[in-house]
Structure 1
Amino acid sequence: MNIYDFAVLDHQNQEVLLKDFQNKVILIVNTAENDPLFPERYEKLTELYQKYHQQGLEIIDIPCQEFTPDDVENIRTAQHVFPKMQISAVNGNYELPLYTFLKTNRGFAGFGNDELAHKMEVLAAHNDPDYKATPDIKWNFTTFIIDRQGDIFARFEPNYSFSDLENIVKMLLASN
C-alpha cells in the first residue's frame, strides 16, 4: 500500500485520486493561513513549486483548522498556485484516511534543536503533554515527502529548513 491507494476532495468538493500523481515527487502539507508561519512557509513552498514543477514536483495543500480554527474564511479566499484540497482533519476520529496512513508509516521524531524547535515543543506540550508518544500532526506545515513510487520518504515538522527540503526534492527528482 502507498499513497496512490488514496483519494482526497479538492476545495471544490471534487475527488482527486492520488494515483493521478504517479511518478511525481509530492509534498503533502497541512496549511492554515492564519498561522504566523503561513506567509514565509507558503511563499517558500510556492517558490519551490514554481522552480521544480516542470521537473515533476507536486504539492498537495490540505488546509487544516485544528491548530488555528479561526482561519476558515482566509483559506477559502486565498490564491493558490498548487492544488488545494478541502479543509480536513489531520488528527482524531475524523482525520483523512490519507493522514492515518502517513502518520502510521512516518511518526513524529521530534522538532530538532533550533530556537523554533523549542517554541514548537512548548506549544505541543501545552496542547498535549504526551505529544512525543503519538504520531499525530503537531502543527501546521508538517510536510510529508513522497517519492516517485508513491512511498513516504520523509516527514518534516513545521520548523524544517527549506534548503534541506529543496535538497531532498532535487535528489528525488533526479532519481527515476
Structure 2
Amino acid sequence: MSIYNYEVETIKGEKKTLSEYKGQVLLIVNTASKCGFTPQYKELQKLYDELGGKGFTVLGFPCNQFMGQEPGDNDDIESFCEINYGVKFPMHSKVDVNGENAHPLFVDLASQAPGLLGSKAIKWNFTKFLVNSKGEVVERFSPNTSPSDIKPKIEQLLEEV
C-alpha cells in the first residue's frame, strides 16, 4: 500500500490522508517532549523553514512508547512544541510505532526501511524516515542523526522532483 493511502489524525483531531503530500519529499518522525533528543524539534523546524517552500514537509507523530516520554494529551504536546520550539510543521495525534497497536504507517515505514541488522522495530524517539516525492521510503535515520545532517539528502531528492 502506498503511504498516500494512510489515514492520520492531526494534533487538532482532524482526519486526513497522506495523499495531500503527493509529490513532496517527506521526513516522518516519531517525536516526544521529554526525551534527550527533544531539542531536534528546533532543527526539524529549521529544515521545514528552509525547504518547505520547495516541496518538502516534516511530519511529526508523538509517541509515548519509550519510557513514557510523551505523557501529555494533544493540546499539551501542541502547546509545548509551539512555545518551546516554534514548531509550525504538521504535527499529529499520538500514535504507537511498535506492537499490536502500531499505526499502519509506521509498520509500513519500518518494513520498507529496516533498522540495524534488519530490525523492523523502531528503537527510540526521533527515528526519522525520509520519503521521496513518489511516496517511497528512501532511508531510515537513527535518533542520533541530526536533522541538519539529513539536509543534503533532502536537497538531492528535491532536485529529482
Question: Unaligned stretches of 5+ in structure 2?
Answer: none
Q: Is 1:103–2:110 an aligned residue pair?
A: yes
Match of 1:149 in 2: 134
Q: Which residue identity is paired with 1:167? A: P
Match of 1:124 in 2: none
Alignment length, in residue pairs?
Answer: 153
Q: Which residue identity is paired with 1:90? A: V
Q: Is 1:56–2:55 an aligned residue pair?
A: yes
Q: 1:152 to 1:70 in 2, by over 3 A?
A: closer
Q: Which residue identity is paired with 2:24? A: K
1:76 Cα offset (Å): 4.3
Q: 2-side partners of 1:68 and 1:49: how far apart?
A: 28
Q: Is 1:34–2:19 an aligned residue pair?
A: no
Q: 1:166 to 1:70 in 2, by over 3 A?
A: closer
Q: 1-side partners of 2:49 and 2:78: how far apart?
A: 22
Q: 1-side partners of 2:26 and 2:108: how far apart?
A: 15
Q: Is 1:71–2:78 an aligned residue pair?
A: no
Q: 2-side partners of 1:170 and 1:50: how far apart?
A: 13
Match of 1:85 in 2: 92
Question: Conserved in 2, the CA contact under 8 Å of 1:31 and 1:140?
Answer: yes
Match of 1:12 in 2: 12
Q: 1:175 to 1:97 in 2, by over 3 A?
A: same
Question: Conserved in 1, the CA contact under 8 Å of 2:113 and 2:139?
Answer: yes
Question: Conserved in 2, the CA contact under 8 Å of 1:27 and 1:145?
Answer: yes
Q: Which residue identity is paired with 1:13? A: G
Question: Conserved in 1, the CA contact under 8 Å of 2:35 and 2:69?
Answer: no
Cα distance per residue 1:29-63 (max 9 Å; x no partner) = 00001001112x11111101000000011111000
Q: Which residue identity is paired with 2:127? A: T
Q: Which residue identity is paired with 1:136? A: A
Question: Unaligned stretches of 5+ in structure 1?
Answer: 110-131
Q: 2-side partners of 1:144 and 1:99: how far apart?
A: 9
Question: Conserved in 2, the CA contact under 8 Å of 1:32 and 1:140?
Answer: yes
Match of 1:113 in 2: none
The 3-state SS of whatever aligns with 1:69 is: coil
TM-score norm. by structure 2 comes to 0.89
Q: Kindly report structure 1 stretches of 4+ aligned residues shifted beyond 2 Å.
A: 70-74, 161-164
